[in-house]
Amino acid sequence: MVRMNRRYFLKLVALSTCGYIGYTKLIAEQDAKAVYKVDESLCINCGICMSVCEAGAITLGKKHASIDMSKCISCGKCKDACPKEAIYETSS
Ligand code: SF4
Ligand code: SF4
């Protein structure tokens, strides 16, 4: 039977731990959902964002649009479509 020396074993444990941490960090980053918000001072309530949102996450209020993040799928279409650049992305 092959015996593993202590130094080699510790190196192996350290490498495995680093790999695991890196992997879980990568998965967490991939799962992080982009959050979109409306800058109320720029919004002119035109409704274009609402018409392009396939998730039905946008509603128009009396003065500006609002995004319901529980419905939003973070596609970014509203941000691209807004003529006033009133929609911006933030990290979750
Ligand atoms: S497209 Fe832009 S300006 Fe128009 S309602 Fe949406 S956020 Fe407001
Ligand atoms: S990012 Fe996509 S799903 Fe979310 S509000 Fe904008 S258009 Fe709708």
DSSP 39: -
Amino acid 38: pLDDT: 98
Q: Which amino acid is at 60?
A: L
Amino acid 91: pLDDT: 77
Domain shared by 68 and 48, yes or no: yes
Domain shared by 46 and 85, yes or no: yes
Predicted TM-score of the model (pTM): 0.72
In this model, does residue 30 exceed pLDDT 60? no
Domain shared by 47 and 82, yes or no: yes
Domain shared by 27 and 50, yes or no: no
The number of domains in the chain is 2
Q: Tens digit of pLDDT for each residue in 11-26?
A: 766 676 656 666 556 5
**Which residues are within 8 A (CB) of 36 and not within 5 positions of it... i.e. 6 or more apart?**
67, 69, 72, 74, 76, 78, 79, 87, 88, 89, 90
Ligand 2 atom nearest to 68, measured from its CA = 5
Range of the domain at 78: 35-90
Site residues for ligand 1, CB cut-off 6 Å? 38, 43-49, 64-65, 82, 84, 86-87
Amino acid 90: pLDDT: 92
